[in-house]
Every structure is written in structure tokens, then in C-alpha cells.
Amino acid sequence: MKVGIVGSGNVGAGAANAMVLRGVAREIVMVDINTKRAQAEAEDILHAVPFSSHAVVVRQGEYSDLDGCQVVVITAGVAQRPGETRLQLLERNAVIFRGMIPQIVASAPEAILVIATNPVDIMTHLAAYYAAPLGVPRRHVIGSGTTLDTARFRSILGRAMDVDPEHVHGYVVGEHGDTEVLAWSMTTVGTVPLEDYAQARGIELSDELLEEIDDGVRRAAYRIIEGKGSTYYGIGAALARIVQAIVRDQRSLLTVSVPVESIGDVRDITFALPAIIGGDGIIAVLPKPLNPKEQRLLEASARTLRQALDELTAAGGM
């Protein structure tokens, strides 16, 4: 199993390290315009292999070295400049993807592309747009979506409910960003609806507690970035989990960025919904049994993304 990572910054390196520790791949190739950084990260991560109990080769490479990759993770992109608008950032990242996607596909035409570059829903949409003329099926382009947000939700809620987060089944859907939707109505602990579980354990689900958890999930990235400059451990682990589901054909249910034909009055966007992911990429997108309020919020999230895509198209960025 061979996996490529394009972009050897903190997120790409974090993903590679998590893959090594989980034993996700037999070979990991790290590609970056900064070859010294890619080489250094690959060498540093390789030194962790003896502690992982998995035989893994981690090396720096070029686009041509992606040949034979089952999955290529894309974390490359530019950061927002001071005073730069979101549209200007999108235009610059669109230029990067327009040149990068054909090079990846030329070397690894069968690979499934996993996008992590932010804003991830729009960049996943663009990656699929650039890959389609090259023969890449839409099911082979997946964004990390709200996989990390869902993990944050389960972690924080598990702590509040005094239970292992592994047994919290809750989802964050929509945009990976400010308009994301915490699907409280779908949340269970084991097979027990959240409200019933809380009542049985004598835990009050007050408005204050729900708001605190929502803020903990929705504002997590802002707090982490303020404290240390960027987030990478959580997203690295999330990317390793997505790749694991693909290379092992696990048919895992994850909240990844997937194509959405229509939702409410919005058409043709990409954002996070619960989807089954396996060896052939996106296998199925599941129905969304949300309550009316959550559905309205999800449609508002979709409109936010559609507006950004329309602005990018009008600016000639697609």
C-alpha cells in the first residue's frame, strides 16, 4: 500500500506521522516544492518507524514518484496574507490546484485524492473540477470535511457526559467552518438518545452546557491557532483515519466533503455529510434525518459555500 502526501508542512507531516503510527501504509512519499523540508520531515518520521511495530518506508519524492499510489493526500496551499480577502486567498489556491492536480493525476491516475487544503469544501470542489477532464471519477475526490469537527464534538461531549468518546455517536455536517451544524438530534451514546442518556445519568442538558459544547467545537481552531499558530495533530489523525478506510476498504462512516447535487434552493456544492468510504472512494452518502432547525442551518451553510463558488467563478478563478 503506497500513499502520497503533497505538501510537507505541519498538516502533511502530521498526517504522515499518524499514518506511520497506525500502520496505514507500506510506503509514504512526501512531495513538496520545498524539497529540503519534505526530505527533513520524511527522515524525521522514518525514525519513528521502529516504535510503530509496522514496516514502513517514508521518503521524499517528486510528482513522478506518486506512481502506484492508492491514495494521494493534498495539504498544499498558501496561507491567508494580512488584509487579504477570502476570495483573493481562494484565487491563489485555485491557481496552485489548477497546476498541481494534472501533475498528480498524470503520475497516479487511479489514486483517490483526499483534500485537506482550506477552505477544504471549496478546494475539494475545485480539485474535482480540475480532475474530471482527466478522467478522475467524482467518487475519487474526497475532502477531509468535518471529520475533525466530528471528533471534537464527540471528545467534548464525551467528557461532559462522563463516557468514553468512542461510544458517542454524533456528527458535525455542512461547511468545515463557521456555518457548520452540530446535529444534536442525531446524537446518541451507544444506542441511547442523548437526552435519555443524560436523564439516566442525572446530567442536565442545559442551554448553557449545549452552548459551551457548541463553542468548544466551532471555535476550537481559533483558540489553537491563537495559542500555537496552527492545528495539525487532530487533522493529521483525521487524514490518517480517512486513508485507512480507503486502503483497507473498511466501508467506514465518516463526515467527509462529498458532492451534493441540491439541498434546499442550492445546487452543485461540496460539503460534509455522513458518507461510507472505502476502496473505491465515496461509496454512499447517507440521508440526513435532521430536525427542521438543523435542516435550515444546513441549507444556510450550503448557501455560504455556493456564494463563495459563484464569486470565484465571476472572478475567473475556476
Alpha helix positions (H), 162-232 = 194-201, 207-218, 220-228
Q: Measured between alpha carbons, how far is 90 from 43 in angstroms, rounded to an integer?
A: 32
pLDDT attached to residue 84? 76
pLDDT attached to residue 287? 84
The catalytic site residues sit at 176
Domains and CATH numbers, the chain: 2-143 (3.40.50.720), 147-314 (3.90.110.10)
pLDDT in tens, 282-304: 999 998 789 999 999 999 999 99
**pLDDT-derived band of residue 110, with 50, 70 and 90 as boundaries?**
very high
Residue entry with cell 434525518: 289
Do 148 and 240 meet the contact criterion of CB atoms below 8 Å apart? Answer: no
Model confidence at 80: pLDDT above 90: no
From residue 314, alpha-carbon distances to 63, 127, 174, 270, 308 in Å are 31, 18, 23, 18, 10
**pLDDT-derived band of residue 83, with 50, 70 and 90 as boundaries?**
confident
Residues 6+ apart with CB under 8 A from 187: 157, 168, 169, 170, 171, 193, 194
Percent of the chain predicted with pLDDT > 70 = 100
Q: Give the global pTM.
A: 0.96
Q: Supply 164's cell numbers.
A: 468514553
From residue 278, alpha-carbon distances to 160, 236, 241, 269, 283 in Å are 32, 19, 11, 22, 7
Q: How many CB atoms lie within 10 A of CB 18?
A: 23
Average pLDDT over every residue of 124-130: 97
Q: Which of 97, 98, 79 is nearest to 89 (CA)?
A: 79
pLDDT attached to residue 278? 98
pLDDT attached to residue 229? 86
Q: Measured between alpha carbons, how far is 137 from 8 in angstroms, rounded to an integer?
A: 26
pLDDT in tens, 22-46: 999 999 999 999 999 999 999 999 9
